[in-house]
Structure 1
């Protein structure tokens, strides 16, 4: 099983503020850069990556969220993609590890990082995340062929597709914790959080909307 984990990538002007927000939700840091410009946050299922927007080499702007992934074996995944007709699937080495890129539906190029035990100078954390929380991003402007594409990659985490508008990624989560408990914890920490039926509506420290679904 070549487990592929979805990992929305948020570019932010304040990595620490976003990290504290995600920790309040129940995520925990796994790997972070020594200078604090990057941190991978894990949920019970799925991940969110935070990257300092000012040091982005790919043009990431404050508040932007991009779609990225992590996989156990990107060589095997590349071979499967090429065999299925994704001839542009390519792997290469970056300073932090190995990466696969491939064109997804709609012409969007996505990156899939290979999971590695070599920390490349990064700091490892072992704090467990809340097992009740799942990363479940919302994709706007996503055509229906995203569903079979994500299934082919092997992504288990739920992804909501909305065909309206331009392509965009919103940080959404699902939890088996009571939503009243989640909302109370967020409000006590000073975050704008409103419970509306089976969904909590939040504005995160970057000023972006976040949803937590029951």
Structure 2
């Protein structure tokens, strides 16, 4: 796994329904909370985290997606960000491990969790990610040049797409080399110029690009 991995965080009204939906597409569960309410899922490139909106301490609403990351060595990531001008990068300890907070472009606060071997309170699955799939978030209302600079400072190689919007937002897009007709056979989807357009259990649009 790369040093820094992109990991959109979805606040959801139904963690199990969202997990089943993403597994149908091709993602695989890796770690989940023993008490429920949290699952992170992996692909060949990138991750998606699911968080029960009802238990969110930050006020996350069902269907809301934010941009977050996971990293091996937060101190090195902090140094890279500071050298790139993101001087408020701060590492601190949470009950579940070390976390880095930084204000990214468009004044968006980004959280980066440090990968840990301590699974107290969590269950680890043998995920065997499907290498044909990758997480490729679609950012709306974003300063594209500034975000590309931020991602370069993080040394994230994942594709991120950009589009118009009245304010910054994150859409949970995926990309696959699997035949899109085979994917469409597993889920209700509409074909478009972009790929497959699917409504997820939270009522949000997910686009699968071929």
TM-score class, shorter: over 0.9
CA distance in 2, matches of 1:45, 1:128: 12
- The answer to whether the aligner puts 1:204 opposite 2:200 as a matched pair is yes
CA distance in 2, matches of 1:160, 1:103: 20
Matches within 5 A, 1:17-166: 17-144=17-144, 145-166=146-167
CA distance in 1, matches of 2:2, 2:16: 32
TM-score (structure 1 length as normaliser): 0.94
Give the unaligned 5+ runs of structure 2.
none
CA distance in 2, matches of 1:174, 1:78: 29
- The answer to whether the aligner puts 1:168 opposite 2:164 as a matched pair is no
- The question of whether the paired residues in 2 share the 8 Å contact of 1:179 and 1:198 is answered with no
- The question of whether the paired residues in 2 share the 8 Å contact of 1:97 and 1:120 is answered with no
Structure 1 residue 11, shift from structure 2 partner? 0.4
TM-score (structure 2 length as normaliser): 0.96
CA distance in 1, matches of 2:44, 2:79: 29
Give the unaligned 5+ runs of structure 1.
187-191
Report the aligned-residue RMSD: 1.4
Q: Deviations over 1:73-99 (max 9, x none)?
A: 001111222233222100001111110
